[in-house]
Structure 1
Amino acid sequence: MERVPCKLVVVGSGNVGKTSMLFTYGWGHFPKEYMPYVFDMSEITFTLDGNTIDLSLWDTCGSEDYDRLRPLSYPETNIFLVLFSVISQNSFDEISSKW
């Protein structure tokens, strides 16, 4: 059995639900209040095909105010998860123009 570190960074426009998605995954329920985060990270460990996966989940702020800060979370990333809102065409368009 091998221990495998893996880093997942969630990106996307502001207010598309990045933090809420991670909160729901980690705590098992949707947050009752809006929680604006600039940056947050949590770790989970699970077994896959006999290997122990140490998964770091990195939340980023989609606001343009943090365009220069956000890339600091990118080095050594294994997986980028790009989110958009189904009720915001702009957030979908920014997938190809920004993210």
Structure 2
Amino acid sequence: MLSKADLKCVVVGDDSVGKTSMLMGYATDRYPTQHVPPVFDNYAGSLTVAGRKIQMQIIDAVEEEQNPKFRHSLYAGTHIFVVCFSVIKPESLKHVEEVWIPEIRLYAPDTPFILVGAQADLRSVDVIRDMLAASGHQPVSTIEGITFARRVGAACYIETSPEVEKNIRKLINSAIASVLDFRVAENSSCAIL
């Protein structure tokens, strides 16, 4: 079982899917409203699981196609992954199945992961829906996200957006706590929206 100061969480996903905004929202309790830099500094904090305070480190594994070995080196000792996609970029969900899950299964085969559908607030924006429709696509629905998460073995599915900025830390902490409990009671499931 985990002891104090030893929960390592690595966040993966395609570029420009909302990972960094989500992490900045988590670390500061507010989503950025200006340009978001492509890299998030690592974050150290704590959460409480089953009445016990656990120190946590969150690492943003930036997608670097020229140096995937660097990203893979971050995976050693990871306790939980957060795999992100954008609900308005269906191809990013495809990459979750074709790139990110196989990669974490290769380098950390027994490590649980949470699936996060980011940019959920943009799902209902008409201009975005029209652009997707013009290319024969549509936003990923909440039901599709939950169904996909179950199919690929995610321990939990959550959706994030600036609209839930006040609850982002609570959402992610709840999801991580549920996964830690999930490792004990493997028949449970989680969808936090």
Q: TM-score range by the shorter chain?
A: 0.7 to 0.9
Match of 1:23 in 2: 24
Match of 2:66 in 1: 65
Task: Give the secondary structure class of the aligned counterpart of 1:3.
Answer: coil
Match of 1:55 in 2: 56
More strand by share: 1
* Separation of aligned partners in 2, 1:63 and 1:77: 19
1:34 corresponds to 2:7: no
Percent identity between matched residues is 35
Q: TM-score, normalised by structure 1?
A: 0.86
| CA distances 1:60-87 after superposition (whole Å, capped 9, x unpaired) | 2124234232111100000011000111
Contact 1:5–1:53 (CA<8 Å) still a contact in 2?
A: yes
Task: Give the secondary structure class of the aligned counterpart of 2:10.
Answer: strand
More helix by share: 2
* Separation of aligned partners in 1, 2:67 and 2:13: 12
Instruction: Please list every run of 5 or more consecutive structure 1 residues that lacks an aligned counterpart in the other structure.
Output: none
Match of 1:92 in 2: 93
Answer with 40-49 or 10-19: which moved more. Answer: 40-49
Q: CA offset at residue 47 of structure 1?
A: 2.8
Of the two structures, which has the highest relative contact order with CA contacts closer than 8 Å and spacing of 6 or more? 1
Task: Give the secondary structure class of the aligned counterpart of 2:88.
Answer: coil
Match of 1:11 in 2: 12
RMSD: 1.7
Instruction: Please list every run of 5 or more consecutive structure 2 residues that lacks an aligned counterpart in the other structure.
Output: 101-193
Runs of 4+ in 1 over 6 A off after TM superposition: none
Bigger radius of gyration, 1 or 2?
Answer: 2
Q: TM-score, normalised by structure 2?
A: 0.47
The one-letter code matched in structure 1 to 2:21 is S
Answer with 7-16 or 58-67: which moved more. Answer: 58-67
Contact 2:6–2:56 (CA<8 Å) still a contact in 1?
A: yes
State the aligned residue count: 97
Contact 2:64–2:71 (CA<8 Å) still a contact in 1?
A: no
Contact 1:4–1:51 (CA<8 Å) still a contact in 2?
A: no
Contact 1:11–1:83 (CA<8 Å) still a contact in 2?
A: yes
